[in-house]
């Protein structure tokens, strides 16, 4: 098992890895629309948070040389299901069709007051298997 903590994302003191690679798969931690420098959520606006969240996921993937096309599964957490259409539109523009398997859940709260969070599973670089 390999652990990865991206130097290009916020340097949290919490005990976790941004990603773990195991048995041909990459598992990400929950990613929010957080400013890498300050650690604060980028905006109260759901579209800006979602865009920043996916940009942060992209930074993480670039650091471990994983392509978004290798996404197997995602889980999207949101604090208000009324935000689903906005999130879905931004998400749909980030992942290529048909996209990974996805579950979307409404939760009571997210870290730092974020309104949306994602975690994901990707095929690891060099992993074999059907695409």
Residue 111 lies in a domain: yes
C-alpha closest to that of 123 among 69, 76, 63: 69
Q: Tell me which residue of 71, 76, 122 sits closest to 97, measured CA to CA.
A: 71
pLDDT of 129: 61
Q: In this predicted model, what pLDDT tens digit does every residue of 67-113 receive, in sequence order? A: 999 999 999 999 999 999 999 999 999 998 899 999 999 999 999 99
Q: Would you state the structure tokens that stand for residue 62, as one six-digit string? A: 């670039």
CB 25 within 8 A of CB 72: yes
Residue 130: inside a domain: no
Q: What CATH code is carried by the domain that includes residue 18?
A: 3.30.1330.40
For residues 28 and 120, the answer to whether their CB atoms sit within 8 Å is: yes
- Residue 38 belongs to domain spanning: 2-123
pLDDT for the residue 68: 94
Residue 54 forms part of a structural domain: yes
Average pLDDT of the chain to the nearest whole number = 94
d(CA 106, CA 127): 33
Adjacent-strand bridge partners of 6: none
| Residue 128 clears pLDDT 80, i.e. is over it | no
């Amino acid at each position: 098992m390999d652990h990865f903590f991206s130097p290009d994302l916020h340097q949290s003191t919490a005990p976790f890895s941004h990603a773990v690679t195991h048995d041909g798969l990459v598992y990400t931690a929950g990613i929010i629309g957080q400013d890498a420098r300050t650690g604060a959520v980028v905006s109260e606006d759901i579209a800006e948070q979602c865009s920043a969240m996916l940009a942060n996921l992209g930074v993480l993937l670039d650091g471990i040389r994983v392509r978004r096309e290798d996404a197997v599964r995602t889980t999207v957490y949101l604090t208000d299901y009324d935000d689903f259409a906005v999130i879905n539109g931004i998400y749909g523009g980030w992942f290529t069709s048909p996209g990974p398997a996805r579950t979307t859940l409404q939760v009571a709260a997210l870290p730092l007051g974020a309104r949306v969070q994602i975690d994901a599973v990707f095929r690891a670089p060099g992993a074999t298997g059907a695409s």
